Amino acid sequence: MFTPKLIRVIVVDDSSFMRLVVSDILQQDSQIIVVDTAKDGEDAYQKTVNLKPDVIILDLVMQDYDGLYAVKKIMQTVPTPIVILSSEGNVHPESVVDALNAGAVSFVNKPRGILQSKIREIDSLLIEKVKIAAQVTAEKLTPTTKKINTNPHTFEKNTAYHIVVIGASTGGTGAIEHILLNLPSNFPLPILIAQHIPDKFVRSFAERLDHLVPLNVKVAQEDELLTAGIVYIAPCYTNMEIKQNPASQKIRISFTQEKFTHFNHPSIDCLMFSVAKIYQKYAIGILLTGMGRDGVSGLAAIKQAGGFTIAQDEKTSIIFGMPKVVVNCL
């Protein structure tokens, strides 16, 4: 009989009460064992070096050495999957985006207050995130040097493709950043992105990219006209699609409450279905790292319409879930 390998976890929080409660939550699952706890970022780093856990649960706000310090130092020397568990998402979402950009795998929002009844509202989600993080290898967490594409590019007036649509989930923020950093400032197509991320972080994610990459990046607004060279990130309180005016032929952003099978708010399938319908063979569809099947049917629709499709490879995917399914299906 096959016995799953135990997932060894370190819990990091400056509250001894929270360390106790989070440890208790995780160890409800027989596959998870908490091997130690830490009180701040430096303590977390030292214990990670000594114990080499499979996953770290990390708060962001701690005295002396905070969570972001820990993420950066751990990723530089002993890359280890990190799940952020912090209430910072309630007030400073940009801090969470910084941690994800520095190498953290995912985030769980700590409920307001420290009552045990509140923190236990997210027990199943936290356990799920730990199990997903445990699948990530150290090689995929190793930081890479980020360079902006400053090379001059010349594009033909009539390009072979008219739009790019990207879908991503766990690990996608870093992959999207890498793609955009490598595009020139005069990239001639609109880019649509559906990234699975809590809605309160979308604006911070877009603002960070807008300051970092050579293109104009923004959170998409309903009814705005698609413009070449603009990157539109889907908000995460609704599903996003595009629609074309039959008379003017102009294409605009649209929001819908239609539900989709594999994920909603934002549904990658929803966005890609609409792109396939309108742009057909003139679309480029890209499916990046993440768990599940969202985007598989949408990317298939683009391929069937004659568009060009790309799936991230296993070597570079934080989670080779969605891309693996699409590679096996298409």
**Are 132 and 213 in a shared domain?**
no
CATH number (domain holding residue 306): 3.40.50.180
Q: Which residue has the higher pLDDT, 144 or 264?
A: 264
Residue 190, pLDDT score: 97
Residue 104, pLDDT score: 94
Question: Residue 133 domain-assigned?
Answer: yes
pLDDT in tens, 282-297: 999 999 999 999 999 9
Question: Residue 1 domain-assigned?
Answer: no
Question: Residue 76 domain-assigned?
Answer: yes
pLDDT at 2 over 60: no
**Are 179 and 304 in a shared domain?**
yes
pLDDT in tens, 99-126: 998 899 999 988 765 555 566 678 899 9
Question: Residue 315 domain-assigned?
Answer: yes
Q: Which residue has the tokens 């941690």?
A: 99
pLDDT at 250 over 90: yes
Domain boundary residue, one of 141, 171, 188: 141
The confidence band for 83, taking pLDDT boundaries of 50, 70 and 90, is very high
Q: Which residue has the higher pLDDT, 257 or 4?
A: 257
The confidence band for 321, taking pLDDT boundaries of 50, 70 and 90, is very high
For the chain, give the mean pLDDT: 91
pLDDT in tens, 143-160: 766 778 877 788 877 889
**Are 213 and 114 in a shared domain?**
no
**Are 214 and 259 in a shared domain?**
yes
Domain boundary residue, one of 90, 111, 141: 141
Strand order in the sheet with 191-195: 216-219, 230-233, 191-195, 163-168, 283-287, 308-311
Question: Residue 156 domain-assigned?
Answer: no
Question: Residue 113 domain-assigned?
Answer: yes
Residue 100 and residue 133: Cα distance in Å, rounded? 13
**Are 204 and 122 in a shared domain?**
no
CATH number (domain holding residue 70): 3.40.50.2300
**Are 104 and 234 in a shared domain?**
no
Active-site annotation, residues:
169, 196, 294
Domain boundary residue, one of 141, 174, 206: 141
Question: Residue 179 domain-assigned?
Answer: yes
**Are 128 and 169 in a shared domain?**
no
pLDDT in tens, 165-201: 999 999 999 999 999 999 999 999 999 999 999 888 8
**3-class state of residue 100 by DSSP:** helix
Range of the domain at 38: 7-141
Q: Which residue has the tokens 């955009």?
A: 180
Q: Which residue has the tokens 């698609």?
A: 226
**Are 119 and 198 in a shared domain?**
no
Q: How many domains does the chain have?
A: 2
Of 103, 4, 31, nearest to 318 by C-alpha is: 103
pLDDT at 73 over 80: yes
**Are 130 and 181 in a shared domain?**
no
**Are 186 and 282 in a shared domain?**
yes
Residue 112, pLDDT score: 67
pLDDT in tens, 199-239: 888 999 999 999 999 999 999 999 999 999 999 999 999 99
The confidence band for 131, taking pLDDT boundaries of 50, 70 and 90, is very high
